[in-house]
Chain A
């Protein structure tokens, strides 16, 4: 094997310019894929973090059908206090759950006494909400990052559009499930930047104020947002919660519920899927580059060395040894391209991370792109390149191993 590797490397150096050109082509492909994956991964990771840590949570529990009607914020599809207790018990039993926040979501009219507009309100237990959404505090651009009874946090759209400031008293009017209209006076304690864009109309009130406003005897819950200890365990935990709630339903403890991960709740998931498809396309492009370039260079190599092949075959070299000789040569070419590509890609990623380019998304400005060197991902890309290099070499190598020595000596 050592001899075959030595011969392969010497043959690559024998055609130095061609080998370097092919290795460079492979390296450029590796760099493009690794850097793109790192940058797009950093971008999607950042955006998913913004969505989940400042707004959605990692997963949510609702009564079945609620999400399909979420635009209307229906008060007829709530989880009752008894059902909420079952949900809480279920979540507390899951070791992967870090925290959860119960929300009473409803539509309301917002008035500053001169103007009135529509608003979507979340009645929450502030401590639970803050724990479940660790980036929520950073979204509060004015006022305190807390919420007391009698206070309201309003979206900056309303603050700017209606000239409402911290400390102003406003009126919130809501219709409850029975059709009764009620109003409450609240003090603006914070202004909330919106994650998703300028059209955000979501505000926060204390859940006890929401319960009073909607004339509920005890708070009913529209959704329970859940934060996990490990985001990578999302599907497993969601599955376990789903199964536990199904068992509770069978036991008659709770009605039909539904568990959605952030992917089913945010349109950004489609963007992240698109980015993943682009990354896959880049990988397929890399595969094509490696396949064509390695096959091309190895075919040339075989045609140029027909006499050598005939000579070693005449000396009694077995076909499998000749096959191995050329496969190792193609593999070495792939390894060279990978080493150059991975090294340059890692350096480029570290450089981008050190520079920390910023970008805006929606109303979020100054988001810092900080790609990381993902060794596991680089190993996968490298393995794909090696595999494709071998595939690209097999046909020329097989051709070489099947040459009749007498023909090869005659042609050479």
Chain B
């Protein structure tokens, strides 16, 4: 059963008379509970593709189903609601809110997006912080945390809403090797326990090795799919 179905997906940016085709005729599927990486050089279209899958942007042509929802049909509010209930995001620069503590950052989507009642909120936030190994840092503000701690909190924030899909754009790009490995193992462990689908982009060979399925993008085209990690 596929969580993501892309069929003839293209994305073209137009500015004045100039058009740039960022994604060209992509067709692929991603199953639920997969641990998938899109790799490729800068400008290959990784971030653009993740933005489309995350309903942050709309494809120019083609069909894109995410959890059986055609993301092209979503208006602004519907896309926000869809993201809030279906997708978690992890960013390269962590993007934690600097005025909120680690606990409050993880709590934010439950509080202001999903409006979950307080007792359940607390239980879920503490469970996630514990699961990603930063429970003891919950009262600290982002500027008091290391990069690895921030990214693990970002992982907890992405997972706290019980999304079907987590999208991570270069999640280890700002981390050293040890922290990158820790974050990747955390993500993988969370996938194993929660059965959440993880899709991330990277050009870090060490991170690629963690993925079960690796899609290679070049110049906006999907040039290969490597499923060897699944068997491994």
> Are A318's CB and B97's CB within 8 A?
no
A80 to chain B, nearest CB (A): 80
Which residues of the partner chain B approach A406 to less than 8 Å between Cβ atoms? 51, 56-57
> Do the beta carbons of B81 and A311 come within 8 Å of each other?
no
Contact (Cβ within 8 A) B95 A311 = yes
Say yes or no: is A321 at the interface (Cβ < 8 Å to chain B). Answer: yes
User: How would residues 16 to 59 of chain B score, 1 for a CB under 8 Å from any chain A CB and 0 otherwise?
Assistant: 00000000000000000000000000000000000100101100
- CB 8 Å contact bits of A305-340 with B (1 = contact, 0 = none): 001101111111111010000000000000000000
A residues near B113, Cβ cutoff 8 Å: 315-318
6 A-B contacts, Cβ less than 8 Å apart?
A: A7-B97, A7-B100, A10-B99, A314-B83, A317-B113, A409-B56
B200 within 8 A of partner (CB) = no
**A315 partner, pick from B57, B89, B100, beta carbons under 8 A:** B89
**A377-412 contact mask (Cβ, 8 Å, vs B): 1 or 0:** 000000000000000000000000000111001000
> B56 to A314, Cβ gap below 8 A?
yes
Q: Which residues of B contact A405 (CB under 8 A)?
A: 56
Q: Which residue of B lies closest to A315 (CB)?
A: B109
Distance, CA A14 to CA B93, complexed state (A): 20
Inter-chain CA distance A308–B93, complex, in Å, is 11
A interface vs B, CB < 8 Å? 3-4, 7, 10-11, 14, 307-308, 310-319, 321, 404-406, 409
Is there an interface contact between A319 and B95, defined as CB atoms closer than 8 Å?
no
Which of A316, A318, A409 is close to B91, meaning CB atoms less than 8 Å apart?
A: A409
**Alpha-carbon separation in the docked complex, A405 to B77 (Å):** 12
**Is B3 at the interface (CB under 8 A from chain A)?**
no
In this assembly, does B76 line the interface, its C-beta being within 8 Å of a C-beta of chain A? Answer: yes
**Residues of chain B within 8 A of A308, CB atoms compared:** 95, 97-98
Q: With both chains docked as a complex, state the minimum distance between the C-beta of B194 and any C-beta of chain A, in angstroms.
A: 18
Question: Which chain A residues border B99 with CB–CB below 8 Å?
Answer: 7, 10-11, 14
Given contacts A10-B99, A314-B83, A316-B83, contact A3 B112 (CB under 8 A): yes
B126 interfacial contact with A, CB 8 Å: no
Structural contact, B84 and A316, CB atoms closer than 8 A? yes
Q: Are B91 and A311 interface neighbours, CB within 8 A?
A: yes
B181 at the interface (CB under 8 A from A): no
In the bound assembly, the distance between CA atoms of A115 and B117 in angstroms comes to: 96
The answer for the CA separation of A59 and B85 in the assembled complex, in Å, is 72
Please report the C-alpha to C-alpha distance between residue A307 and residue B85 in the assembled complex, in whole angstroms: 21
Q: In whole Å, how far is B118's beta carbon from the nearest beta carbon of chain A?
A: 11
B80 at the interface (CB under 8 A from A): yes
8 cross-chain pairs, A with B, having the tightest CB-CB distances, nearest first: A316-B84, A10-B99, A311-B95, A406-B56, A316-B83, A316-B113, A406-B57, A315-B109
Docked complex Cα distance between A11 and B99 (Å): 6
Q: Answer whether residue B111 sits at the interface, using C-beta atoms and an 8 A cutoff.
A: yes
Using A310-B95, A314-B56, A321-B112 as known contacts, list a sample of 10 further A-B pairs with CB atoms less than 8 Å apart, ordered by residue number in A.
A7-B97, A14-B99, A311-B91, A314-B89, A315-B83, A315-B157, A316-B87, A316-B114, A317-B112, A318-B80
With CB as the reference atom, state the residue of chain B lying closest to A3.
Answer: B111
For residues 112 through 145 of chain B, which have their beta carbon under 8 Å from a beta carbon of chain A? 112-114
User: Contacts of A14 on B, CB cut-off 8 Å?
Assistant: 98-99
CB-defined contacts of B93 to chain A, threshold 8 Å: 307
CA distance A314 to B86 in the complex (A): 12
Contact status of A317 and B98, CB under 8 A, knowing A311-B91, A409-B91: no
Residues of B within 8 A of A311 (CB): 89, 91, 95, 97
A319 contacts B80, C-beta separation under 8 Å: yes
- Write out the residue numbers on chain B whose beta carbons fall within 8 Å of the beta carbon of A315: 83-84, 89, 108-109, 113, 157
